[in-house]
Amino acid sequence: MWRCLVIEDDRENARYIAEGLLALGHIPILAHDGAEALRRATNESWDVVVLDRMLPGSVDGLSILHTMRSLGLRTPVLVLSALSALDERVKGLKAGGDDYLTKPFAFSELSARLEALVRRSRSGNDVTTLQLGDLSLDLTRRQAQRGARIVVLKPREFRLLAYLMMHPDQALTRTMLLEAVWDYRFDPQTNLIDVQISRLRSKLHGPDETPILHTVRGVGYSLSMQPPSALA
């Protein structure tokens, strides 16, 4: 269970996020105005913050983020914005944001990203290696290994595998993968994800190795030691 501060001036969007978090058993607290949000963000303890980039008045989302970081607050922050340009994402991350999600978004993606942020913050250390079964990914050396076998990856394949490993045992949609790995908005006509998944799967699945990269029918893909039927 997390205490999550949701800073969002759009009340309908805030309610959508809050209802989803409540359904998962978390405690969302809403702040619709920049001044109130700044006060609560800096004076209370939170497991994670969802922060709208654009807020009315003189206190916008990035101002709140700058203030939190200048006070030494390391609470993980997911920045929400209707601004999808790469420059805007860079601004949000440079201001101290831990992740950036553009609107509109699916709640499943929001919750998956929040889970990853909370898990990382609770580990107490910067994660340098991701592990799932006999598959490991060294984020520093940018090297993948399955058992004793080195898996040679191209840069985009590395990013794709890293994202999958950050969300193990979860069914990830093509939209989520396109936005996270390619910074693209969803195009229903593209087969980019399917092609890249096929190439990655051929590298991960050696002879006599347990299949780990699965197609989840009607949803997308999942990295898991379990078959798709066992995924929640």
∠ CA 127-62-100, rounded to 5°: 45
Does residue 173 surpass a pLDDT of 90?
no
- Under 8 Å between Cβ of 213 and 201: yes
Tokens describing residue 19: 């209802």
14 and 6 in contact (C-beta within 8 Å)? Answer: yes
Residue 17 near residue 114 (C-beta atoms within 8 A): no
Task: Match 């999958």 to its residue by tokens.
Answer: 164
Tokens of 21: 């978090």
d(CA 64, CA 78): 12
Separation between Cα atoms, residue 11 and residue 66, nearest integer Å: 24
Query: Angle at CA 179, nearest 5°, toward 170 and 26?
Result: 45
Q: What residues are paired with 174 via a beta bridge?
A: none
pLDDT at residue number 229:
62
Burial of 97 (0-12, 13-18, 19+ CB in 10 A): buried
Instruction: For residue range 44-73, list pLDDT tens digits in order.
Output: 889 999 999 888 777 788 888 888 888 888
Supply the pLDDT for residue 232: 46
Rank 75-89, 114-128, 160-174, 213-227 by mean pLDDT and report only the highest: 213-227
Give the number of other Cβ atoms within 10 Å of residue 130's Cβ: 18
5-38 pLDDT per residue, tens: 999 999 999 999 999 999 888 889 999 888 888 8
The predicted model scores a pTM of: 0.54
Q: Which amino acid is at 106?
A: A
Integer Cα distance of 9 and 30 in angstroms = 9
The better pLDDT of the pair 140, 41 is held by: 41
Could you give the 3-state DSSP secondary structure of residue 56? coil
Q: Which residues of 146-173 are buried (b: 16+ CB within 10 A; e: fewer)?
A: beeeebebeeebbbbbbbbbbbbebbbb
| Residue with token string 């959508």 | 16
Residue 110: closest CA among 120, 99, 121, 119:
99
Indicate the SS3 state at residue 7. strand
Using the Cα atoms of residue 172, residue 119, residue 7 and residue 163 in order, give the sign of their dihedral: negative
Q: What percent of the chain has pLDDT over 90?
A: 31
